[in-house]
Amino acid sequence: MASTPPRAATLHEVAALAGVSHQTVSRFLHNKGPFKPATIERVEAAIQELNYRPNMIARSMRTRETGILAAILPSPVTAMPTPTLAAAAELARQSGYFMEISVIEGPAQDRAKRTQELLDSGRLEGVLALGALPGMSEQPRGPGTTALAILDQYDDRLRGIGPLADASALREIIETLAGMGHRRFLHIQGPQDWSSARARREEYLRSIEDLGLDSHGIRGGDWTLESGYAAVSGLEEDSGVTAVIAANDYLALGALRAAHDRGWPVPRRLSITGWDDLPTARYAVPALSTVAVDQRSQGRSAMERLIALVRNEPAPDSTIPVSRLILRESTGPAPEPEPSEVQR
Amino acid sequence: MASTPPRAATLHEVAALAGVSHQTVSRFLHNKGPFKPATIERVEAAIQELNYRPNMIARSMRTRETGILAAILPSPVTAMPTPTLAAAAELARQSGYFMEISVIEGPAQDRAKRTQELLDSGRLEGVLALGALPGMSEQPRGPGTTALAILDQYDDRLRGIGPLADASALREIIETLAGMGHRRFLHIQGPQDWSSARARREEYLRSIEDLGLDSHGIRGGDWTLESGYAAVSGLEEDSGVTAVIAANDYLALGALRAAHDRGWPVPRRLSITGWDDLPTARYAVPALSTVAVDQRSQGRSAMERLIALVRNEPAPDSTIPVSRLILRESTGPAPEPEPSEVQR
DNA sequence: ACACTCAGAGTGATCGTTCACATTCGGGGA
DNA sequence: TCCCCGAATGTGAACGATCACTCTGAGTGT
């Protein structure tokens, strides 16, 4: 008394039930060629009856297309906003792809090596690096090669390109602060193997120079709260800095806390700005002035680019969503110079 | 002049080059049976020479094992800490599995439906829900069925189980605060389809009762900052609440800001606690008292459970990492009753 | 000298789908 | 009537691995 095996139905079984050949069913599934109405009906009924689902593995075997993409999380992983990841995954699914994720820690060299292994595995049609991947560049899909797209991408001259690289809001920040009387700035930078961090740093330096302002220097170096805290903690008492431009919100929130611990009121003595508009930024005390970026559309547009590379289509004209400066409580007019300092 | 096709080498080609049968190479790759040293040498050389990599698709087709797991992100996705996801992905990889991710938004019903589709797709060996999945329960892998593990899992009586459900630290919080003189509490709860949120709520109510304290009530209902803000904003001026127990850090940070906006000093007038120990919690002003949970080991242990279910092995004795109460600046002694209130 | 065992290796079928090609059928023009 | 054409469908091989067998030859006990 063998009970029915729970094995899934195959194309042949559907064909047998419908009284047609397996090829007809296959064609039906791909909407190829015209069919007699009667055929359509019978095949549809058979599929329904057997609850048939095509076996993707077998299909992949024949077509050599796996439909699988992989996303590489940046290191450290906290630098990855979940909405970016989620948006990329959603678009992949909508476009008929599966998206795996791959965590690659370690120094740039190891990351590049593991990424290369992924590219060579032959299992993937495309790889999306959701962050910086120093030493590697985007490539389309060819016969035998896997496509690679990089969210934090740079060009031949190491200039940032792509949705993460737009640092123009930084000039706006500095102009705004200069308009409030600020003259001496500090930049807390991100890791310099990220082109977005480099772009912000460069825009900072350029703006300072163009506007005839002073920079006390540049601190930081990674994306962490600790780094931001240390930057402001280590600031000399007489540095004259009245505005701190952080490369992201984590750095800025760390800086905010350091200012608090030193008894420096923000923004009365020190103005601080961030970048990313984290959910918590708005509820910080004081609320953080920052640059709102649309993380979901960043993830989506990166995935769009990858899929174009996979399909060897021209790159979609990525309408990069403009990042938008949001002024909250952490920025304000520059403090009046203290009388004692004026006398000196 | 056809150049060498970039197609990957097959088992047969390796066998031909090594002068053995394809089966021998296959056995070699699986470490099956003894081999003559000479055979080993020749096969290894051939593999090296052709840079052979087994075709996972073909293997899957024959063995009916895909080696692919899927992780379902919770909704909203910001409720998912990246380290949890990353740790799960790492363990999957180390165990020889690939991990896809799948974003399923929408109400519980849709989520259950889409999850069921994933389970039925036949492409996956296991599915890990990184969050609540109301109406579905864990299942092992059988012939034709896909394993399912749920991070935020509950038992038959809707009691939370698993690593997320340990709410014992909540009692510790309340005992500590009671020791500081607090008598009247408010709970800001998470979404009640999460068993962890239910567990914290229940532990809150039980502790209040056991210790003979007062609860002003329960607010909140999702995991957002807005919800936490609203809970404290809406508190009556004369509620008598001196301590707010939030179900996670987002809620707590929102509450913190609301207290600030009402001019209620924290902790002098109101103590606030969170849960999760987000990176920003420590740098908040005031620094948030919270419960540190090891997100990485939560992700890892959930994945361990899934893999055990996939392999039909007994569940690993999950040494649930104990969550640890961290007292920072947002908690302190209860305020003295104001003279005016005493007179009334 | 014989059968037996076991290490070591080989043979052919098979998984479920798509590809390339062959076949059937009905109708319209010469 | 015959031929041809396109619509509609059928046939068999192939993708690259593993599974279930079969086969060979050297050693072993009697």
* Domain CATH code at residue B45: 1.10.260.40
The answer to whether B229 contacts A283, with C-beta atoms less than 8 Å apart, is: yes
Same domain (yes/no): B236, B266: yes
Judge whether B3 lies within some domain: no
Whose tokens are 């800095």? That residue is A241
Res A306: pLDDT: 95
Burial label for B67, CB within 10 Å (0-12, 13-18, 19+), is middle
Whole-number Å distance, CA B19 to C1' D14? 24
CA atoms within 13 A on the CB side of A148: 22
- B270 pLDDT band, cuts 50/70/90, is very high
Res A197: pLDDT: 93
Q: Long-range contact list for B233-239, CB < 8 A, 24+ apart?
A: B233/B258, B233/B261, B233/B262, B235/B186, B239/B184, B239/B186
Phi/psi for A139 (5° steps) reads -150, 145
* B39 alpha-carbon distance from chain centroid: 48
Looking at this protein, which amino acid is placed at residue A54? P
Whole-number Å distance, CA A193 to C1' D19? 50
Mutate to test the interface with A, among B283, B295, B303, B328 (most CBs of A within 10 A): B283
**Cβ atoms within 10 Å, residue B245:** 29
Same domain (yes/no): B171, B154: no
The answer to whether A225 contacts B120, with C-beta atoms less than 8 Å apart, is: no
Contacts of B186 (CB under 8 A, 6+ apart): B215, B216, B217, B218, B219, B231, B232, B235, B239, B241, B243, B244, B245
Same domain (yes/no): A204, A149: no
The answer to whether A280 contacts B283, with C-beta atoms less than 8 Å apart, is: no
Angle between helices A37-50 and A22-29 (to 10 degrees): 90
Same domain (yes/no): A283, A302: no
Res B322: pLDDT: 75
Same domain (yes/no): A92, A207: no
Q: What is the mean pLDDT of residues B50-75?
A: 93
Residues A273-294 have pLDDT tens digits of: 999 999 999 999 999 999 999 9
Q: Is the pLDDT of residue A66 over 70?
A: yes
Judge whether B210 lies within some domain: yes
Question: What residues form DSSP beta bridges with B129?
Answer: B72, B150
Same domain (yes/no): B283, B216: yes
The answer to whether A53 contacts B83, with C-beta atoms less than 8 Å apart, is: no
The lowest-confidence range among A22-31, B36-45, B136-145 is B136-145
Judge whether A344 lies within some domain: no
Judge whether B59 lies within some domain: no
Residues A127-141 have pLDDT tens digits of: 999 988 888 999 999
What tokens were used for A191?
A: 């890791």
Judge whether B282 lies within some domain: yes
Judge whether A282 lies within some domain: yes
Judge whether B344 lies within some domain: no
Residue A18 to residue A281: CA distance in whole angstroms? 61
Residues B172-202 have pLDDT tens digits of: 999 999 999 999 999 999 999 898 999 999 9
Whole-number Å distance, CA A41 to C1' D9? 15
Q: What is the mean pLDDT of residues A166-173?
A: 92
* Residue A26 DSSP SS3: helix
- The CATH number of the domain holding residue A267 is 3.40.50.2300
Q: Does B250 touch chain A (CB under 8 A)?
A: yes
**Minimal C-alpha gap between A76 and chain B (Å):** 9
Same domain (yes/no): B245, B147: no
The rounded percent of chain A whose pLDDT value lies above 90 is: 74
For residue A159, what are the CA distances in angstroms to A73, A152, A194, A210? Answer: 22, 11, 10, 19
Residue A303 to residue A129: CA distance in whole angstroms? 10
Residue A324 to residue A310: CA distance in whole angstroms? 31
Res B1: pLDDT: 41
Q: What is the mean pLDDT of residues B100-115?
A: 91
Q: Is the pLDDT of residue A159 over 80?
A: no
Same domain (yes/no): A123, A155: yes
Same domain (yes/no): A309, A251: no
Residue B155 to residue B6: CA distance in whole angstroms? 53
Question: What letter would DSSP give residue B314?
Answer: P
Res A266: pLDDT: 96
Q: Is the pLDDT of residue A4 over 60?
A: no
Q: What is the mean pLDDT of residues B221-231?
A: 96
Three-point CA angle A214, A244, A108, nearest 5°: 105
Nearest CA among A274, A195, A286, A287 for reference residue A231: A274
The answer to whether B83 contacts A61, with C-beta atoms less than 8 Å apart, is: no
Res B172: pLDDT: 96
Nearest CA among A171, A240, A168 for reference residue A211: A171
Nucleotide nearest to B62 (CA to C1'): C15
Whose tokens are 């805290």? That residue is A229
Res A261: pLDDT: 98
Q: How many domains does chain B have?
A: 3
* Residue B308 DSSP SS3: helix
Res A107: pLDDT: 87
Residue A35 to residue A28: CA distance in whole angstroms? 8
Judge whether B343 lies within some domain: no
The rounded percent of chain A whose pLDDT value lies above 70 is: 92
Residue B163 to residue A237: CA distance in whole angstroms? 47
Q: Does residue A257 contact residue B284 with C-beta atoms inside 8 Å? A: yes
The answer to whether B122 contacts A8, with C-beta atoms less than 8 Å apart, is: yes
Nearest CA among A207, A324, A188 for reference residue A256: A188
Same domain (yes/no): B108, B125: yes
Size of interface A-B (CB pairs under 8 A): 145
Q: Does A299 touch chain B (CB under 8 A)?
A: no
Same domain (yes/no): B72, B30: no
Strand ranges (E), A44-113: 68-73, 98-103
CA atoms within 13 A on the CB side of A230: 11
Res B337: pLDDT: 72
Res A143: pLDDT: 79
Cross-chain CB nearest to B100 (options A100, A260, A279): A100
Give A305 or A317, the one with higher predicted confidence.
A305
Question: What letter would DSSP give residue B165?
Answer: G
Query: Would you tell me which residues have their CB within 7 A of strand C?
Result: A 7-8, 10-12, 22-23, 26, 29-30, 52, 54-55, 58-59, 61-63; B 19-24, 33-36, 38-39, 61-62
Nearest CA among B234, B264, B229, B268 for reference residue B250: B229
Residue B94: which domain range?
64-163+296-321
Strand A153-154 relative to strand A147-150: parallel, antiparallel, unpaired?
A: unpaired
Question: Count of residues for chain B?
Answer: 344
Question: What letter would DSSP give residue A144?
Answer: T
Q: Is the pLDDT of residue B2 over 60?
A: no
Same domain (yes/no): B174, B266: yes
The answer to whether B100 contacts A102, with C-beta atoms less than 8 Å apart, is: no
Residues of A in contact with B103 (CB under 8 A): 86, 89-90, 93
Q: Does residue A226 contact residue A254 with C-beta atoms inside 8 Å? A: yes
Residue A222 to residue A184: CA distance in whole angstroms? 23
Residue B232 to residue B82: CA distance in whole angstroms? 28
Cross-chain CB nearest to B57 (options A6, A60, A120): A60
List all nucleotides in chain C with at least one atom under 7 A from a protein Cβ: 7-12, 14-20
